[in-house]
Amino acid sequence: MIQRIIALLLIAASATQAQEVFRYPVSQVKLLRDQRGELQIDKTAVSYRSENGETTIRIPLEDIRKADLSEPGIIRIETYDVLKRKLGDRRVYTFRLREGTQDEELGQFLANNLTRPVIAAFELPAQELFEIPAYHKHFLGGCHGRILFGDAGIQFLSDKPGESRTWLYPDIEIIGSVDPFHLRVSTLAETYNLELKARLPEQAHEKVRRNVYRPLEDAENY
């Protein structure tokens, strides 16, 4: 019996460890010709090595300014480095997965381990949620979806690829509504303007404001 328990604990530990390292066969998107290789993401860095061994990239997590997982099968990593040949532009590495799409767990992992917001969609903890149908306005057109307000953050879920988002409350810089049928969510990475198809419940509005602004107010009063 004891041996069985130990075996189960070892299996669980291995599963937990496996979730902390993500490996993908990818092609690094380059100007003239994409380069095949392997991408690894763990708690220390994002690392890439080409199949021919000519290119090796290692980006410590603290050097990542933006991680964008919004497109299925694409991982974009922006660093703080400013390019000399393009004034104001940052260095961006783009990796296209050669098989399938990135795990939803990767978005959660990066959100938990990066100091800046991640552009991604991942499941919120199973806690009390308010749900409202909504429309995300684009410069041209838009997409339908629904907003979930939870204890840990906000989700916008859409059937249109690349449109779904998860915003954790600590990553939200500004949240506002000019009326009960509009909502604007801004992080350091992007801003979403949403039209609500139903009135925003006062309880949900208070939950959101409390989770976004109260930590800031507490810090100012400390």
Lay out the sheet containing 90-97: strands in order across.
56-60, 45-50, 35-41, 22-28, 90-97, 74-82, 64-68, 118-119
Which class in CATH covers the domain with range 20-119? mainly beta
**pLDDT of 48:** 98
Q: What does the alpha-carbon distance between residue 97 and residue 26 come to, in Å, rounded to a whole number?
A: 4
Which class in CATH covers the domain with range 130-221? mainly beta
**pLDDT of 12:** 46
**pLDDT of 118:** 95
**pLDDT of 205:** 79
On whether the CB atoms of residues 48 and 56 are closer than 8 A, the answer is: yes
Q: Is the pLDDT of residue 96 over 60?
A: yes
Record the pTM: 0.81
Q: Is the pLDDT of residue 218 over 60?
A: no
Per-residue pLDDT, averaged over 127-142, amounts to: 86
Average pLDDT value over all residues in the chain: 86
Domain ranges of the chain: 20-119, 130-221
